[in-house]
């Protein structure tokens, strides 16, 4: 949140990447020092938009948050410049064990790694296993850099969402084929250690966990990138959760994919022995 005008309307800038058209008409929450403050983000009503305005894609500066306050003074009793703003949080089950919520990217990652850790803790792992919920991934993989440096792992698996391409208007020739509910995605490419990838694939086959393949020809735009480049290099794997409508208030995932990702990562951790060598051959 960056500016409050005399009438108490609030202007914001995006943290990470946002499609402005997904914002208009949403319930928002400003996370003020003394607690959450409800607001709505909107622009003027369609009746009042000129024919040219109706055709234009608005910019962030064309939208404001209305807290219902009467002036700037009242707003400043509740919120301050720099307070973060989110969509109103919530969770809606859909058919076929799908679910919609804002911020599935990347709350699902936190759930998957903690569930994997829970499963590993119930067995007798030979490797030291750490689960990390990193912060500030969207603005430069910042939490991954510090946590990977501190833990100094030999191997790391980054869990993030990836685009499901099983909804209208997506060209599979351009984006590949990823379906919700068909299992976590195991991308191959320069950011994924080939031995780690091969082990994930074979463990998935053994345990009959469905997985999907994807090609990632460049550095991953997620924590895998920071992880791989930590210190002298870390053998890095990527387990990705298919997600429709990423960075919107209605991100959709399959809960089955989350369960399967956690099971696969737990099995991976339990398969590690001191003899394991992930030097690519």
Residue nearest to Zn ion (CB): 105
| Beta sheet of 155-163, edge-to-edge order | 155-163, 235-243, 185-188, 212-215
CA distances from 104 to 9, 32, 54, 78, 249 (A): 28, 23, 31, 28, 9
Q: Which is nearer to Zn ion, 138 or 166 (CB)?
A: 138
Give the binding site for Zn ion (CB under 5 A).
105
Q: Which is nearer to Zn ion, 102 or 153 (CB)?
A: 102
CA distances from 3 to 7, 25, 64, 160, 254 (A): 11, 20, 10, 32, 38
State how far the Cα of 161 lies from the Cα of 144, in Å rounded to an integer: 16
Helices first, then strands: H and E counts in the chain: 9, 13
Q: Tell the smallest beta-carbon distance from residue 251 to Zn ion (Å).
A: 9
Q: Tell the smallest beta-carbon distance from residue 240 to Zn ion (Å).
A: 11
Q: Is residue 31 a contact partner of residue 83, using CB atoms and an 8 Å limit?
A: yes
Q: What angle do CA 59, 63, 67 make, to 5 degrees?
A: 155
Task: Please tell me which residue in 52, 123, 137, 177 is annotated as part of the active site.
Answer: 137
State how far the Cα of 254 lies from the Cα of 98, in Å rounded to an integer: 4
- H or E segment and range at residue 196: helix 194-206
Q: Tell the smallest beta-carbon distance from residue 104 to Zn ion (Å).
A: 10
Q: Tell the smallest beta-carbon distance from residue 182 to Zn ion (Å).
A: 21
Q: Which is nearer to Zn ion, 38 or 136 (CB)?
A: 136
Q: Which is nearer to Zn ion, 141 or 234 (CB)?
A: 141
Q: Tell the smallest beta-carbon distance from residue 28 to Zn ion (Å).
A: 18
Q: Residue 245 — left, alpha, or beta (φ > 0 → left; ψ -120 to 50 → alpha)?
A: left
Q: Tell the smallest beta-carbon distance from residue 67 to Zn ion (Å).
A: 27
Q: Residue 199 — left, alpha, or beta (φ > 0 → left; ψ -120 to 50 → alpha)?
A: alpha
* Residue 251 annotated to the active site: no
Residue 104 DSSP SS3: helix
Q: Which is nearer to Zn ion, 12 or 129 (CB)?
A: 12
Strand partners, 69: none
State how far the Cα of 11 lies from the Cα of 43, in Å rounded to an integer: 12
- Whether the ω angle into residue 106 lies within 30 degrees of 0, i.e. cis, is yes
Q: Which is nearer to Zn ion, 105 or 257 (CB)?
A: 105
What residues act catalytically? 137
């Amino acid at each position: 949140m960056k500016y409050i005008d005399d009438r108490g309307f609030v202007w914001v800038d995006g943290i990470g990447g946002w499609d402005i058209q997904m914002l208009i008409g949403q319930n928002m929450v400003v996370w003020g020092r003394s607690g959450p403050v409800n607001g709505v983000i909107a622009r003027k009503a369609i009746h009042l938009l000129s024919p040219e305005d109706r055709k234009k894609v608005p910019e962030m500066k064309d939208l404001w948050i209305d807290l219902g306050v009467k002036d700037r003074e009242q707003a400043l009793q509740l919120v301050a410049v720099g307070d973060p703003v989110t969509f109103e949080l919530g969770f809606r089950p859909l058919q076929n064990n799908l679910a919609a919520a804002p911020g599935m990217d990347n709350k699902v990652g936190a759930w998957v790694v903690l569930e994997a850790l829970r499963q590993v803790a119930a067995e007798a792992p030979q490797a030291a296993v750490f689960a990390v919920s990193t912060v500030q991934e969207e603005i430069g993989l910042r939490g991954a850099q510090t946590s990977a440096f501190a833990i100094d792992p030999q191997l790391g698996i980054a869990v993030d969402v990836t685009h499901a391409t099983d909804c209208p208007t997506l060209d599979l020739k351009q984006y590949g084929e990823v379906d919700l509910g068909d299992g976590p995605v195991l991308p191959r490419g320069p950011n994924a250690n080939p031995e780690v990838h091969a082990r994930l694939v074979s463990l998935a086959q053994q345990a009959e966990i469905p997985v999907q393949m994807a090609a990632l020809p460049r550095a991953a735009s997620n924590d895998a990138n920071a992880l791989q480049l930590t210190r002298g290099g870390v053998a890095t794997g990527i387990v990705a959760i298919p997600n429709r409508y990423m960075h919107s208030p209605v991100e959709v995932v399959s809960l089955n994919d989350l369960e399967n990702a956690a099971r696969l990562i737990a099995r991976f951790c339990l398969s590690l022995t001191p003899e394991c060598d992930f030097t690519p051959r």
